[in-house]
């Protein structure tokens, strides 16, 4: 499905009922907006991981503007601020009062922006393997310089410079860096998921070559007052675990969960424990 908002069409899909029976009553379930990573990714891998949570919530999977199955838009609007405003516009489009926002990686940055800008419509917040500022980039660069192979250091230059020129380059980057993103990386599974996804390397270039170098929510995190779950992976290289700790320390009602056997792909490295943590948070906070 697509919603026309803010001058473009945003793709979204819904999993799970909005109402559930409880004896003679119908109870409204929490609505979770699930925001994928990137920039320039899509919701497909996130859907594979989060669909089981439809037993406790209605999940709205969203492709950011110009990403995945959303309609291509003016590249000048591929920004963090616009992604934040698009989440609010979709909430209004769907006629929802308050929502839970769950953001993974870059989606977590969008989620933080939403929590700061639109607190009145936010019930709960889940920030998964993300960071609050541009400083994550310096940490990631340092890690690859100190520990990466020459091939890994080479493909990461495409990311640092925002200079991907083709989908083939993007595919090579994620293949070479696969063991960094996931402690359980399986190349056959990677190829299967890659064929299902629709990615936009130009958006990745815009983000890493531009606004991700300057964004900073650090001093505004104290303004987030809703119940917040912060999840980090102990072996995460791109959003190192100390960034999760910092968010949890600064958000007043945050609960931190670090997964000791996970890298960035915590939802596939420790899927059962991850789902249990998020399900418990949704159940308790709602």
Q: Which residues of the chain have pLDDT under 50?
A: none
Residue for token pair 């925001």: 35
Report the 3 state secondary structure along the chain: CEEEECCEEEEEEEECCCEEEECCEEEECCEEEEECCCCCCCCHHHHHHHHHHHHCCEEEEECCCCCCCCCCCCHHHCCHHHHHHHHHHHHHHCCCCCEEEEEECHHHHHHHHHHHHCHHHEEEEEEECCCCECHHHHHHHHHHHHHCCHHHHHHHHHHHHCCCCCHHHHHHHHHHCHHHHCCCCCHHHHHHHHHHCCCCHHHHHHHHHCHHHCCECHHHHHHCCCCEEEEEECCCCCCCHHHHHHHHHHCCCEEEEEECCCCCCHHHHCHHHHHHHHHHHHHHHC
What's the pLDDT at 286?
63
The residue ranges of every structural domain in the chain are: 2-134+216-285
What's the pLDDT at 16?
87
- Determine contact, residues 204/167, Cβ cutoff 8 Å: no
- Determine contact, residues 199/170, Cβ cutoff 8 Å: yes
**Spatial separation of the C-alpha atoms in residues 181 and 251, rounded to whole Å:** 26
Rg (CA), the chain: 18
Crossing angle of the two packed helices 167-176 and 150-161, in degrees rounded to 10: 130
What's the pLDDT at 45?
85
What's the pLDDT at 19?
72
What's the pLDDT at 193?
85
What's the pLDDT at 22?
67
Handedness of CA 247, 249, 250, 255 (dihedral sign): positive
Q: Phi and psi for 55 in degrees, rounded to 5?
A: -80, -15
For residue 134 the two structure tokens come to 């541009």
Among the four given CATH numbers 3.40.50.1820, 3.40.50.300, 3.40.470.10, 3.40.50.2000, the one describing domain 2-134+216-285: 3.40.50.1820
């Amino acid at each position: 499905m697509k919603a026309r908002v803010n001058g473009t069409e945003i793709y979204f899909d819904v999993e799970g009922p909005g109402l559930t029976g409880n004896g003679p009553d119908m109870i409204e379930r929490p609505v979770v907006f699930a925001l994928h990573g990137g920039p320039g990714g899509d919701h497909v891998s996130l859907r594979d991981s989060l669909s089981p949570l439809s037993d406790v919530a209605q999940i709205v999977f969203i492709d950011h503007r110009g990403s995945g199955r959303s309609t291509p838009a003016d590249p000048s609007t591929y920004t963090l601020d616009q992604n934040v405003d698009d989440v609010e516009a979709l909430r209004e489009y769907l006629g929802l009062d308050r929502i839970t926002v769950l953001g993974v990686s870059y989606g977590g940055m969008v989620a933080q922006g939403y929590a700061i800008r639109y607190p009145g419509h936010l019930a709960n917040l889940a920030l998964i393997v993300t960071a609050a500022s541009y400083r994550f980039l310096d940490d990631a660069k340092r890690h690859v310089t100190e520990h990466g192979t020459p091939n890994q250091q080479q493909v990461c230059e495409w990311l640092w410079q925002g200079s991907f020129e083709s989908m083939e380059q993007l595919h090579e980057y994620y293949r070479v860096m696969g063991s960094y993103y996931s402690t359980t990386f399986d190349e056959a599974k990677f190829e299967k998921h890659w064929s299902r996804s629709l990615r936009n390397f130009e958006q990745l270039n815009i983000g890493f070559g531009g606004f991700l170098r300057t964004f900073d929510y650090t001093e505004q995190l104290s303004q987030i007052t809703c119940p917040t779950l912060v999840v980090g992976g102990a072996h995460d290289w791109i959003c190192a675990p100390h960034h999760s700790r910092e968010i949890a320390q600064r958000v007043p009602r945050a609960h931190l969960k670090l997964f000791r056997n996970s890298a960035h792909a915590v939802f596939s490295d420790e899927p059962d424990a991850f789902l249990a943590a998020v399900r418990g948070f949704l159940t308790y906070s709602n």
